[in-house]
Chains A and B, each alone.
Chain A
Amino acid sequence: GAVVSQHPSRVICKSGTSVKIECRSLDFQATTMFWYRQFPKKSLMLMATSNEGSKATYEQGVEKDKFLINHASLTLSTLTVTSAHPEDSSFYICSARKSTGGIQPQHFGDGTRLSIL
């Protein structure tokens, strides 16, 4: 149980393209989902917290107009990298926790490797 599916797993596109990444909780409902970014040989850095039915909360230094987050249902959150440039190339990972919260662990998707040419 507690599976998080992330799609696509890999994207290669030209500079200026907008890219949408989907994160789904397959067998549980998630009021809150999290989006992380990871550069090579570095640890995961939280970008934003996605809340179902309300605006996402972004970490300091993360541009909300650049990284659009939509959490329209209890099982789906999307991250759109708008007008992507080579410096946006990274490994993007989402996670979700059951809505019952408490001490429930977060479960992670397998990540999306984004390469901007």
Chain B
Amino acid sequence: DAKTTQPPSMDCAEGRAANLPCNHSTISGNEYVYWYRQIHSQGPQYIIHGLKNNETNEMASLIITEDRKSSTLILPHATLRDTAVYYCIVRPGMDAGNMLTFGGGTRLMVKP
């Protein structure tokens, strides 16, 4: 699996957009970008995934660069409950047996 690089920590003011970057410069053509977050003492929560087009759901937006070497997760209006560790993971999409490999993630702190 391609590896990802994320900043270890970020701060964001409550109500502002949180933009979390991820570098995956060695991503393969069949690999998807997945984002999860882990709130303290809970299991990871799925947020969003994409291949090459930008994606949006009720939780967040995912912006993938045209060369697919990096992406940004956007939380449009961060709240205190969005404080968590955010993981960017790339994985081939077509095999149900492929596991997720977690890196260090970005610890997002949303401040009042």
Contacts and interface: CB of A to CB of B under 8 A. Distances in A.
A113 B99 contact: no
A111 B43 contact: yes
Nearest to A57: B97
Given A103-B94, A107-B46, A46 B99 contact: yes
A106 B93 CA distance: 11
Contacts, number: 66
B96 A32 contact: yes
Nearest to A109: B43
B97 A49 contact: yes
B32 A93 contact: no
Contacts of B103: 43
Contacts of A98: 96
B80 interface: no
Interface of B: 32, 34, 36, 38, 41-46, 49, 51, 87, 93-97, 99-105
21 contacts: A6-B43, A31-B96, A34-B99, A43-B87, A43-B102, A44-B38, A44-B44, A44-B102, A46-B101, A91-B41, A95-B43, A95-B44, A100-B96, A103-B32, A103-B49, A106-B46, A106-B99, A108-B43, A108-B44, A109-B43, A111-B41
